[in-house]
Amino acid sequence: MGIGYTYQSELFSHFREIRPDDKFGQIRFYERNASQLKRLSTEEEFIILCYYTNALFAAENYRKHLEYSQLVLEISILEGIQFVDGHDVYLHMLENRVKSHLALKEFEAAFNIAKQLLNIAAEPGKYFALYRRVLSVRRPIWVLNAFAIAVSAASLWAALEIVRLIVFEPFYPIIDNTLGLFQLAALAIALGTVFLAWISQYYFVGSELRKYRKK
């Protein structure tokens, strides 16, 4: 349900005078009047809390946004309030929580909330781009291991190249040729592993998205 009322307190009327895009004005208002807000009706306090929380996100105060967005979600459930000024509070808060966790590089938390968002949204397609973004940075362990192998192989190639140039090329040309073969093998492993990891990641993201497209 949404919020419907006819009476507005003076404090709430003052808040409504702040431009919707003035995030810092909304933040200042909330923090300056925090004690007085508790005396407002549940509906008015909740509306101001929602705008304050969105302003924290817009101001890139992601840690604080996560704290207050959780409070908004809890009140939304307890009071049965889903819409504020025509916007679905619950879905909007979840979407921005995903983005805040991404900004803080908390990829596992972002992944879990993104899945929750897709499961409860009436139109999950709206959030596919966000979910794809989460999947792109939250790589499965086997992809991370593949990149680690590639880095190790590339490091081995570089180390062998240094040894070859300093020691073997000037003094031991036969060994230098053999060492060159090891270098080629290391380089092939590095490039091949990166390619396979990239392809695997691409198909992993696609398969995860297809699970929700079928719903």
Could you report the per-residue pLDDT of 140-175, keeping only the tens digit for each?
Answer: 665 666 666 667 767 766 776 776 666 655 555 555
**Second CATH level (architecture) for the domain 10-137:** Alpha Horseshoe (1.25)
| Domains in the chain: boundaries | 10-137, 141-213
For the four alpha carbons of 85, 86, 91 and 97, in that order, the dihedral sign comes to negative
**In the chain, where do the E strands start and end?**
83-84, 87-88
Tokens of 33: 């009047």
Distance between CA atoms of residues 72 and 205, nearest Å: 31
Could you report the per-residue pLDDT of 100-118, keeping only the tens digit for each?
Answer: 999 999 999 999 999 999 8
Residues with Cβ within 8 Å of 40's Cβ and at least 6 positions away in sequence, in order, are: 9, 11, 12, 48
**Considering the chain, what is the average pLDDT of its residues?**
81
Residue 16 carries which side chain, given as an amino acid letter?
R
Distance between CA atoms of residues 67 and 144, nearest Å: 30
Are β-strands 83-84 and 87-88 bridged in parallel, bridged antiparallel, or unpaired? Answer: antiparallel
Distance between CA atoms of residues 202 and 133, nearest Å: 12
**Predicted model pTM:** 0.70
Q: What is the mean pLDDT of residues 80-102?
A: 94
Band of residue 2 on the pLDDT scale cut at 50, 70, 90: very low
